[in-house]
Amino acid sequence: MKPEAFIASRIFTLSKKHMSSTVMRLALISVALGISVMIVSVAIVIGFKNQIREKVIGFVAPIQIKLLDNNESLENTALTFSMDLRDSLKNISSIDHLQLVAYKAGIVKTEDQIQGIVFKGVDNDFRWPFFQNKLISGRVPDFKQDNRSNEVIISSYIADKLLLKTGDALRVWFVDTDQQARGRRFDIVGIYETGLFEFDERYVLGDLEQIRKLNNWHEDDAGAVEVWLKDDMDVEQANKQIYFSLPVTMASYTADELYPHIFDWLNLQDMNVIIIIILMVLVSGITMISMLLIIILERTSMIGLLKTMGASDQFVRHVFLVHSSRILLIGMALGNFIGIAICIVQQSTGFAKLPAESYYLSTVPIDLSLLNILLINAGTLLLWFLMLLIPTSLINRIVPAKAIKFS
């Protein structure tokens, strides 16, 4: 054992006989609390962003192709998905799947309630796995190739508000291209719940042929083309490729561009985490500095004795840095255990709840990453160690004769 480590081991004690013991306990608690809060905060924000992004993309696809008609209403202008356009898009290697959709506003009327909805028409190639995982009852619609289907799925929000259930009839009124009210009767075959209140409160999913019939569209017409990408493809890069391959009358948009208010709000969460991390590093670091200052004052006579025996200022500083580093590492180990344990318990039980209307999720999400934990520990350890160099500079000013005289 090196002399610095041996001496540090002799002064490292939490005994109540020493004045510094209480401060060392506070330093341990502060470091443990700081690390655990940082781990939990980062895991929550990353989980929060990933889950909401996954939900939004699952609902609207990573990229959508629309006409450049400056139409901000829910009434789409017909986009003709020609064979030339289909072949052009299929030549882009990043594209995995294409599906046609359209939107049309309508009003659902029951005996006692009335509710505005958006009917999202989807075709036979629509990818249903996202909604299959979100079903709370029933099944997804089964569309026939040659016939219009009356099967729809509605959200749990609409079902609860209108007192509807699987198997009930859903009567919806639309306005056709001649500005005439047209009623349609649909059969509810499933009820879904995504947790995205902005979508759950309005969307009913059914057959695209219903919208084509109401709008007098042709069989190749749709309101938009949803584009799904292959795994691990960069959305922005793929969107650029798609955009420059389209006719001048069309444009492609990422999910971030279609719903900027959701993703801008998610990006604001990063600032919250940065503020939390800065506060935790500063509070715990100041506590460690205070602890080390008190220990140095308490051991002033020992410092003077070591200098009298020929120890250099650097040697003495190493003694106290080793001593402080032990406290720091013990606190960090304890903080990692607490932080990881809280994350695992939340992942397993979901005990911490959220109002879905405000946060789009019903439970606090957790995304526990080993890389993030290692980065938090490495970064904070480096910062705290550098902060500990500040109080050790006082050792250079301690005069051995005075230190021993007043001990």
- Same domain, yes or no: 235 and 378: no
User: Are residues 140 and 203 both part of a single domain?
Assistant: yes
Task: Indicate whether 279 belongs to any domain.
Answer: yes
How, if at all, do strands 151-155 and 181-192 pair? parallel
Q: What is the mean pLDDT of residues 254-274?
A: 85
CB 119 within 8 A of CB 104: yes
Whether 220 and 193 map to the same domain: the answer is yes
What is the pTM assigned to this prediction?
0.77
More confident residue, 267 or 120: 120
- Residue 346 or residue 304, greater confidence: 346
> Is 253 part of any domain?
no
DSSP symbols for 292-332: HHHHHHHTHHHHHHHHHTT--HHHHHHHHHHHHHHHHHHHH
Amino acid at 222: A
Residue of higher predicted confidence among 335 and 68: 335
Q: In the listed set 247, 271, 290, which residue is the last one of a domain according to the structure? A: 247
Percent above pLDDT 70 for the chain: 89
Considering the domain architecture, whether residues 200 and 230 belong to the same structural domain is answered as yes
Flag whether pLDDT at 11 surpasses 70.
no
Do both 18 and 73 map to the same domain? no
Residue 305 placed within a domain = yes
pLDDT of residue 73: 67
Percentages helix, strand, coil for the chain (3-state, rounded to 5) are 55, 20, 25
- Indicate if 389 and 295 belong to the same structural domain: yes
Per the structure, the count of domains in the chain is 2
Torsion-angle region of 107 (φ positive above 0: left; ψ -120 to 50: alpha; else: beta): beta
Greater confidence (359 vs 396) lies with 359
pLDDT of residue 14: 53
Rounded to an integer, what distance in angstroms lies between the CA atom of residue 26 and that of residue 31?
Answer: 9
The answer to whether position 295 is within a domain reads yes
Write down which residue in 247, 279, 294 finishes a domain. 247
Which of 153, 157, 182 lies closest to 170, judged by CA? 153
pLDDT score at 97:
92
pLDDT of residue 70: 56
User: 3-state SS of 238-290?
Assistant: HHHHHHHHCCCCEEEEEHHHHCHHHHHHHHHHHHHHHHHHHHHHHHHHHHHHH
**Quick one: 288 and 387 in the same domain?**
yes
How far is the C-alpha of 165 from the C-alpha of 66, rounded, in Å?
Answer: 34
Adjacent-strand bridge partners of 222: 79
Both 182 and 317 in a single domain?
Answer: no
> Do residues 307 and 390 touch, judged by C-beta distance below 8 A?
no
Between vectors from CA 46 to CA 45 and to CA 50, what angle results, nearest 5°?
115
pLDDT, averaged across the chain? 84
Residue 12: which pLDDT band, with cuts at 50, 70 and 90? low
Domain assignment present for 42: yes
| Residue 107: inside a domain | yes
The rounded Cα 164 to chain-centroid distance in angstroms is: 33
Q: Model confidence over 44-61: pLDDT tens digits?
A: 989 888 888 888 898 989
Tell me the per-residue pLDDT of 186-239, one tens digit each, with 9 for 90 and over. 999 999 998 888 888 899 999 999 999 888 898 889 999 999 999 888 999 999
User: For 16-144, where are the E strands, in sequence order?
Assistant: 63-67, 79-80, 95-109, 114-122, 135-138
Q: Domain check: are 107 and 217 in the same one?
A: yes
The answer to whether residue 75 scores a pLDDT higher than 80 is: no
Whether 257 maps to a domain, the answer reads no
200 and 74 in one domain?
yes
Domain that holds residue 154: 69-247
The pLDDT value given to residue 61 = 92
Final residue belonging to a domain, choices 247, 278, 310:
247
Same domain, 243 and 276: no
- Rounded Cα gap, residues 54 and 46, in angstroms: 12
DSSP 118-168: EEEEE-TT---HHHHHHEEEE------SSS---EEEEEHHHHHHHT--TT-
CB 211 within 8 A of CB 145: no
pLDDT bin (cut points 50, 70, 90) of residue 276 is confident
Residues 279 and 398 in one domain: yes
Say which residues have a Cβ less than 8 Å from residue 337's Cβ, sequence separation at least 6: none
Whether 311 is in a domain gets the answer yes
pLDDT at 17: 55
Let me know the angle formed at the C-alpha of 115 by 113 and 117, rounded to the nearest 5 degrees: 155
**Average pLDDT for 6-16:** 59
Mean pLDDT, range 251-274, rounded to an integer: 86
78 CB-side CA count, 13 A: 16
